[in-house]
Amino acid sequence: MTKYSPNEADANNGSTYTAEFLRVKGLAERGVANAQHSLGFMYFNGQGVAQSFELAVVWYRQAAQSGLEHAQYNLGVMYQKGQGVAQDFEEAAAWYRKAAEQGYAAAQYNLGWLYAKGQGVANDTQQAMHWFAKAAEQGDAGAQNNLGMMYDTGKGVPQDFKQAIFWYRKAAEQGYARAQFNLGLRYDNGQGVPQDVGQALSWYRKAADQGYAPAQFNLALRFDKGDGITQDAQKAILWYRRAAEQDHASSQFNLGLIYDNGQGVPRDEQKALDWYRKAAEQGHAAAQNNLGLRYDHGQGVEQDYEQAQLWYRKAAEQGFPGAQYHLGLLYDAGHGVVTDHQEAIFWYRKAADQGHLRAQFDLGLRYETGRGVPQDYRKAMGWYRRAAEQDYAAAQYSLGLLFDNDDGPQPDCHQANQWYRKAAEQNHTQAQFALGLRYDNGLGLPRDYAQAHHWYLQAAGQGHARAQFNLGLMYLAGQGVPADAGQAWLWLTMAERAGFAAAARYLGSAASRIEPAQLAQLRERMEGSPG
């Protein structure tokens, strides 16, 4: 950040400096350079006279032309900010250089900044480094911090974390908040110093206490997660809020999440929405996505697909995969946009290429069914596999089905079983049934009625009608379990209730093997059960 003192220093609102103004004016008009500079300062701050940036420039210029370094510096500031003159970075750089060459540290810092930004001079990291170093050696904390950052990133010098730490520490010990934050980061990451969470927190707090928003955010994160510090939701909220009130977008977003989930505060959809909006309006992609979701589903706001697509698009164009996927869904459904399956696929692919599981799965489904794209089982398998390898159960099951398909591109019952098992172990109902069926019939693995029973039971407990039917038959025949007509009758009845008509054909057989009193109890039990 460019420095602008001493123009902005020591302005005393409401004080009358008329007598002093007249004295200084007399000296200035007689050509006394220090008086000319002081008169410029008085015009700049409105001390003893009406404020006038134009007259401040006039008197700074006269003092600067006499070689007075702080006047040269202040004139540079006026040109850089466009106060009293048209903004002109070249003129700013010229006047900073005159003061810098006289050893004026603030001018050296600002000249370094112009070289770093390429404003008024060619972008030149070596020159930026040169002038920052000059100012840093005079104890200028901002220059010390910038020098540390250049060593940190390897801009203009070979990357050197130890040198970065050296300069950060010099600035931090002078109370320079950004350097305190940067030093905290280095202790956090163990770059240039041994990793030390306690030191990191100490420096974050020093910067946070001075109102430095990124440090307040990092401190809030620590309290939020209990990372290296006792978890404390209230302190997390306090620090998030302090940063959020300074328009720190990530803090605003996290506050939105806190109110959305009711973490440490009563759940409040309106406050969540307000914080999401503040962050979204600053370009925070995750907040834009969440705001889109609110409008998409009418959560806390009236449902508005046009607003949903607007916010999804802002996040999607920043590469946020969730928003890309949701924008694809809107194009698929024609919500807030004209239905366009090709555009939907475009956004699904963007999200899928970044590892978005649902987008990968949906693309696989598109290629499997030929909806919006030419049917291509190999491409379907490719997209399913990418999601399946990230443990997305629906994709694992679908991949198993493709391997299970004799007309598919690569029939392989062993691969089918492997993917069914992975999905089944994640409680995917259809995969549990499919694995039970494989054990039941010895498809690609040894027939094992006990294992078949195990997996049917898992699926049946989640309401899978065919698994309930198969369980009923196993209890009726005593396959993998002791024969039990009562259990058979219960599972067959559940299957019939769930719409599996074939179960009715076996209910009579099961009922005939049950004592009337027991059957009455079973009927009573079923009548009392849901569904």
How far apart (Å, rounded) are the C-alpha atoms in residues 171 and 344? 52
Q: What's the predicted TM-score (pTM) here?
A: 0.82
How far apart (Å, rounded) are the C-alpha atoms in residues 440 and 471? 11
Alpha-carbon distances, residue 155 vs 146, 162, 191, 261 (angstroms): 11, 15, 17, 42
Mean pLDDT of 7-17: 50
Per 3-state DSSP, the chain is made up of helix, strand and coil in percentages (nearest 5) of 70, 0, 30
pLDDT tens readout for residues 67-99: 999 999 999 999 999 999 999 999 999 999 999
Q: What angle do CA 4, 144, 223 make, to 5 degrees?
A: 95
pLDDT tens readout for residues 286-332: 999 999 999 999 999 999 999 999 999 999 999 999 999 999 999 99
Is residue 424 left, alpha or beta, with left meaning phi > 0 and alpha meaning psi from -120 to 50? alpha
Q: pLDDT value at position 125? A: 94
pLDDT tens readout for residues 436-453: 999 999 998 999 999 999
How far apart (Å, rounded) are the C-alpha atoms in residues 62 and 47? 19
DSSP code, position 343: H
Question: Is the pLDDT confidence value at 12 over 90?
Answer: no
pLDDT tens readout for residues 157-198: 899 999 999 999 999 999 999 999 999 999 999 999 999 999
Cβ atoms < 10 Å from Cβ of 479:
16
DSSP code, position 513: T
Structure tokens at 53: 């940036």
Residue of 5, 3, 55 lying closest to 25 (CA atoms): 55
Alpha-helical runs (H) found in 7-140:
18-29, 33-45, 53-65, 69-81, 89-100, 105-117, 125-137
pLDDT, averaged across the chain: 94
